[in-house]
A and B are shown apart, each in its own frame.
Chain A
């Protein structure tokens, strides 16, 4: 086929997919709905969830996961475009990491050394590693699907960022269930769970996001 003939074909095709941001909204809403349903079935909120809203540690735990959703979400939308320059959009993610380090340092200063391990180990560490990825699964499928229909030129990175967004969603949900609020616990177990979901996203991205 000559290129001119291909041009006739392309010009006759008027069907355009919706913009990536719109697609993300359409896929992520059902993804989050699935995550919330799973959360309600297997976990549910802890009994003192309202009272905990006055606890700075509890608020920090929620806020850092919510911040991760926003920061990684902005980066994700950027990566849907082929000419994406991530530049300044990486800064919020670094700030989140810095905030986590500051919180960990503060906690180490506040707590006597003898209780460090207890605070970090908490009651629910293995559940944390299991449930955050479980809640993140449907949002990860949704974000990867959106990316697949977009034009990411860095597939593994885009997949990893999709994993970060999804782990943030899983983290916010799990945070209202888990009784452990210490930043030591959050940094260790939420951090591990988030890294796991991001790694799965990166591996999947490298495989399925080429176009």
Chain B
């Protein structure tokens, strides 16, 4: 995380990947208990990762990392459970029968996927987001492709992420 805050993108990407696996395993266990599926898990994983990313300045270098991540995950899990509150309850036995055997859950697409929220963005923003996300471009490559400065691409990207987070929060209230 220190390397990530210092701007090392490769280290940060690696950390996020590891976090996504850790979160998937933990959140899935909790969400299955309450009758949620893999798509809900993926949604919670994505929202937690986004929150970790946008709130990373609240982690202190001298503080342990895991409790900080766990607190954010718990906060997002509570949101998720609250949102699905209206759903019909599944009896416990039935739920346990459905438990798949695979210990390490596979990655699935989220139901109310962050991707749907891309509709909020204008054409240029969407081009940047999709270029970086799907084609795996760096900010510089996206800048060259769109004829923008790298700084402008980074600022746009950051604003898009903040906007997604704001939209997720609005949908909860």
List the interface of chain A (C-beta within 8 A of B): 1-20, 80-84, 150-151, 153, 210-211
Contacts and interface: CB of A to CB of B under 8 A. Distances in A.
Contact of B133 (A5, A15, A150): A5
B68 A82 contact: yes
B154 interface: yes
**Size range of the interface on B?**
35 or more
B58 A3 contact: no
B138 interface: yes
A83 to B, nearest CB: 4
Interface of B: 5, 7, 9-10, 12-13, 16-17, 20, 24, 42, 45-46, 49-51, 53, 55-60, 63, 67-68, 70-72, 74-75, 107, 109-110, 113-115, 118, 129, 132-134, 136, 138-139, 154-155, 157-158, 161, 165, 169, 172-173
Given A16-B5, A211-B51, A9 B154 contact: no
A196 to B, nearest CB: 26
Nearest to B115: A1
A2 B107 CA distance: 8
A9 B20 CA distance: 14
Given A18-B57, A150-B57, 17 more contacts: A1-B109, A1-B118, A6-B50, A7-B16, A8-B134, A9-B132, A10-B12, A11-B9, A11-B12, A12-B9, A13-B53, A13-B161, A15-B158, A80-B58, A82-B75, A150-B58, A151-B72
A76 to B, nearest CB: 13
Contacts of A81: 58-60, 63, 68, 71
Contacts of A13: 53, 154, 157-158, 161
A30 B24 CA distance: 43
Nearest to A4: B107
Nearest to A84: B71
Contacts of A3: 20, 24, 42, 45-46, 49, 107, 110
B129 to A, nearest CB: 6
Contact of A150 (B24, B46, B55, B134): B55
Contacts, number: 119
Nearest to B161: A13
A80 B158 CA distance: 21
A14 B10 CA distance: 12
Contacts of A151: 51, 55, 58, 72
Contacts of A16: 5, 56-57
Contacts of A10: 12, 16, 49-50, 53, 161
A76 B70 CA distance: 21
B132 A1 contact: no
Contacts of B169: 210-211
Contacts of B158: 13, 15
Contact of A83 (B7, B51, B71, B113): B71
7 contacts: A1-B115, A1-B118, A9-B129, A10-B50, A19-B58, A81-B58, A153-B71
A10 to B, nearest CB: 4
Nearest to A22: B57
Contacts of B45: 3
